Structure 1
Amino acid sequence: MNTKEPELFCRQVNKLIEHGCEITDYEQAIMILNKINYYKLSAYFLPFRDNDGNYKQGTTLLQVYKIYEFDRKLSAFLYGIIQKIEVFVKTQIAYYHSNKYGALGYLDHSNVADKMIEKHKKLIDNFNTEVKRNKELLFVKH
C-alpha cells in the first residue's frame, strides 16, 4: 500500500507555497492547518488547481479557508433544520401509527404492507436483539 508520510505543519505550508498557493501570513497558515486536516482542506483547493497540479495564480490559503468555513457553517445550519424536520416527521408517523394501531402496533406484522413484512420481521428481530444486548442501559430499561 502506498502511504504518505506525516508532515509537520510548516512542511505542509511549504508544500502549498511550492504548488503556487499565496500565503501572506505564515503563522496564520500554520494555525489554519492546525485546525483543519491538510487533506480535508485539500479538497477545497480542487477548483483552484491547474492541469499541472499547481494552483491558479491568485489562489490564497485564506480564500480557500473562507470557503471551507462557509461550507462548515452551511452544513451545521442545514443539519439543524434537517434535524427539526426529521423529528417532526417521526412525530407525525408515530402519532398516526400509534393512534391507528395502538401503542405497540409497530410490533404487529399485520400493520405493515405485505411486501414489507420480511423487512419488518428483520427490523423487529434486530430491535429485540439490541434491547437484550443493552438491557442494563437506563433508557432501555425505561
Structure 2
Amino acid sequence: MSTDISNPLKPALTFEQQIERLKTIHNLTIMHEDSALKILEKVNYYRLSAYGIGLKKDANSEEYRDDITLEHIFRLYCFDSEFRNDIIHIVEQLEVQLRTQISYCLSIKYGPEGYVDVRNFNDKKNRNGKSVHGTIMDSFKNEVKHCKNLPFVNHHQDVYDGHFPIWAAVELMTFGNITSIFDIMKSEDQKSISSFYATSPNHLKSWMLALVEIRNICAHYNRLYNMPLKQTPFLYKENLKYRSKQNKVFPVFLVIKRMLHSNEQWESFLRDIVKTISKYQDIVILSFIGFPPDWKNILQAPTSFE
C-alpha cells in the first residue's frame, strides 16, 4: 500500500527536541527544563498547543508573546480539565432527569413499550430520508447487543424475551438519541415535559442539543476553554446580551441555572465553578469562555420565570 502523501508528515521529536523547538521556533519561555520535560511526558504538546491559541504575537503567529511560558499553557490545560470535571457532574444530573421525564411521559400515556410504535411520534425523516424513529430504534438494538453483559440487560433478555420497558430502554440510549426522541414526540407530549422546566419545547430542544455537545466534549476530555461551540441555546430576553460572536460556554451556564430552578444543586455547582476559576484567575481569560466580568452576580441572581 502506497504511503505517498502530498504534504509529508513532520518528523517525530524527542521531548528534548520539542523543548528546543518551542524555545527557538515558537519563542516559548521555558523556566525550568526539568519541569518542562515532566509536563511534556504527561501531556503531549499537540494537545497543549491548543491552549496557546490567542497567546501568540500579532505580528508573528508562530511565536508566543514574550510573557508566555510552557507552565502558563500547562496551567490552562489543568484549568480546563478541572472546569470540565465540574461541568460533567451537573450535566449528568440534568441528563438523568431528562431521561426520567421523557420515559415517565411516554410510559404513562402509551404504556411500557409504547416507544417502539412510530404512531406515537411524529414520523420525521433525517437528511438521508430515513425515519428518525427507526434510526433511534436501530441504535437502541445495537446498544442492547453491546451491553449484553449488563445484569439488567440479561434480565430483560432472559425473563422478558428481549422486551424492554421505556424506563429501562432509556438507560441504554445515548443522550443524543434521547434528544432525538424528544424532537419527534407529539406536540402535547413535548409541552408536558418542557413545562417541567418552565419553558417551551423549542427552547428545551435547543438546551438539550447544547447539553449533548458539552457532555460529549467533557466525556471525551476535549478542550472547552476558548472553544467555539456548534450549538447555540435559545436564551430569554434578559440574557440575550450574553451571546457573543463566537458561541462559548457561558450561555450554557444560564441554561443549566434555569433548568435547575437555581436550586441547591445549582448552588453547589456554582461554588465549585467559583473555586476553580479563582484558583486559575491569574491565567484564565474570561472572554475565552464567554464569561462577562460580572459573571458571579449574574449566576447568583434569582432566575425569573415570567
TM-score range, shorter-chain basis? 0.7 to 0.9
Deviation at 1:94, TM superposition (A): 0.6
Q: Residue in 2 aligned with 1:73?
A: 82
Deviation at 1:95, TM superposition (A): 1.2
What runs of 5+ residues in structure 2 fail to find an aligned partner? Answer: 156-306
Q: Residue in 2 aligned with 1:26?
A: 33
**Are 1:112 and 2:112 matched, yes or no?**
no
Aligned partner of 2:56 among 36, 41, 49: 49
What is the distance in 2 between the residues matched to 1:127 and 1:54? 49
Q: Residue in 2 aligned with 1:14?
A: 20
Q: Residue in 2 aligned with 1:137?
A: 149
Deviation at 1:137, TM superposition (A): 3.0
What runs of 5+ residues in structure 1 fail to find an aligned partner? Answer: none
CA distance change for structure 1 residues 125 and 71 in 2, over 3 Å: closer, same or farther?
closer
CA distance change for structure 1 residues 96 and 47 in 2, over 3 Å: closer, same or farther?
same
What is the distance in 2 between the residues matched to 1:83 and 1:130? 19
TM-score, reference length from structure 1: 0.86
Q: Residue in 2 aligned with 1:40?
A: 47
Deviation at 1:114, TM superposition (A): 3.9
Q: Residue in 2 aligned with 1:121?
A: 134
Deviation at 1:30, TM superposition (A): 0.5
CA distance change for structure 1 residues 136 and 83 in 2, over 3 Å: closer, same or farther?
closer
CA distance change for structure 1 residues 43 and 122 in 2, over 3 Å: closer, same or farther?
closer
Q: 1:115 is paired with a residue of what secondary structure? A: coil
Larger Rg computed on CA atoms: 1
Deviation at 1:121, TM superposition (A): 2.6
Pairs aligned (count): 141
Contact 2:124 2:133 in 1 (8 A): no
**Are 1:63 and 2:72 matched, yes or no?**
yes
Q: Which amino acid aligns with 1:107?
A: V
CA distance change for structure 1 residues 138 and 73 in 2, over 3 Å: closer, same or farther?
closer
Contact 2:123 2:133 in 1 (8 A): no
Q: Which amino acid aligns with 2:83?
A: L
CA distance change for structure 1 residues 130 and 45 in 2, over 3 Å: closer, same or farther?
closer
Contact 2:30 2:70 in 1 (8 A): yes
CA distance change for structure 1 residues 130 and 32 in 2, over 3 Å: closer, same or farther?
closer
Aligned partner of 1:5 among 3, 11, 17: 11
Q: Which amino acid aligns with 2:34?
A: E
What is the distance in 2 between the residues matched to 1:130 and 1:89? 19
Aligned partner of 1:88 among 97, 114, 137: 97
Q: 2:137 is paired with a residue of what secondary structure? A: helix
- Structure 1 segments (4+ residues) deviating >2 Å: 114-118, 121-131, 133-142
Select the structure that is richer in helix: 1
What's the Cα RMSD here? 2.2
Q: Which amino acid aligns with 2:101?
A: Q
Q: Deviations along 1:107-134, whole A, 9 cap, x unmatched?
A: 1121112436932133324434554x55
Q: 2:68 is paired with a residue of what secondary structure? A: coil
CA distance change for structure 1 residues 129 and 43 in 2, over 3 Å: closer, same or farther?
closer
Q: Residue in 1 aligned with 2:165?
A: none
Contact 2:114 2:120 in 1 (8 A): yes
